Amino acid sequence: MTSQRHETDAMRRAIELSRRGPANGANPRVGCVILDAEGRVIAEGWHRGRGTAHAEVAALGALADRALAQGATAVVTLEPCNHTGATGPCSEALIDAGVGRVVYAVADPGASSSGGGERLRMAGVDVEEGVLGDEAEENIRPWLTSIRRGVPFVTVKWASSLDGRAAAADGSSRWITGPSSRADVHRRRAEAGAIVAGTGTVLADDPSLTARDSDGRELSEQPIAVIVGRRSVPRDSRVFAHPAGAIEYPSRDLSGLLTMLAERDVRHVFVEGGPTVASAFLAAGLADEVLVYLAPTVLGGPVTAITDVGVRTISEQARMRFDHIELLGDDVLLVARPLTTNDLPTKEDD
């Protein structure tokens, strides 16, 4: 029988494998490792995108001999699905293959796809949930949040000087941050399903809103471009040549925007198009994550990275907690998340 150490090592490998799949699609990144009775890896697989074999089926298909699945242990990052969509249920595929044990990290929150663990148990398969659960949850947090809540996970990003300015007094802003920060932004764009900018930014800067490499080439994964605001944008603007398409949203109803994007199977929204739209998402309490690329420079002047977010007095401040801090060249990336009820102090903490 496989040991806990073997299964933990296999789960860590499965999480690593999952990252080979696309990050910005409707489906989650999932990885699977199959172990024999001695804890040896006999097959691996990951989900390569919508309509392709799920990770469990891909791993079963990678076995040198299908008979090796008999009594084997499948270690998978997400609970095997229990429904028929573009592909069949993974729970049934594992049962049919004769797998004896399934270890998964995170329960599937989908209304139609969940229940795979129980289906496996009913078939006599030994099932364990929660191995490296925190790591696996973090790996697909935007997707999980979106499925649980019904609207996309929202990342709000801005770049600023030490004194919180997004541009000089004349409006020029290229470049406040360095190449390492810009490369990180483009990588994160590619991992989102949609990138949101305000009409003011589109009219002023004529951005392409694409994800590109350091040489300016478009990456293989691209977010849909979304332009928010009531002002019209010229049809010859670069954003309308976006490879994933561009959507104009002539409204300030941001909750409605997220609902519309959810209907398009967008799970993660990346907001970076100017102080007005970034501030609107913060004021509406719709930001799940804030990224601040802080450059070691001082600009002064009136162009702040964030404008009014509805805080009238200090007791109304929108408290967050730092989740990650990283040095990117000469810049610093600060990642913050809103406080939840779990983050608030209790009487025992007083």
Give me the DSSP letters along 185-198.
HHHHHHTSSEEEEE
Using CA atoms, how far apart are residues 127 and 121, in angstroms rounded to an integer?
6
Using CA atoms, how far apart are residues 155 and 69, in angstroms rounded to an integer?
41
Residue of 7, 44, 56, 79 marked catalytic: 56
Using CA atoms, how far apart are residues 195 and 259, in angstroms rounded to an integer?
15
Name the token pair of 62.
């990678």
Using CA atoms, how far apart are residues 174 and 154, in angstroms rounded to an integer?
25
Q: What angle do CA 87, 89, 95 make, to 5 degrees?
A: 135
Using CA atoms, how far apart are residues 152 and 148, in angstroms rounded to an integer?
10
- Active-site annotation holds for 56: yes
End-to-end alpha carbon distance in the chain:
47
According to DSSP, the β-strands at 126-129 and 153-160 are: unpaired
The amino acid sitting at 151 is V
Q: Could you give the residue numbers annotated as active site?
A: 56
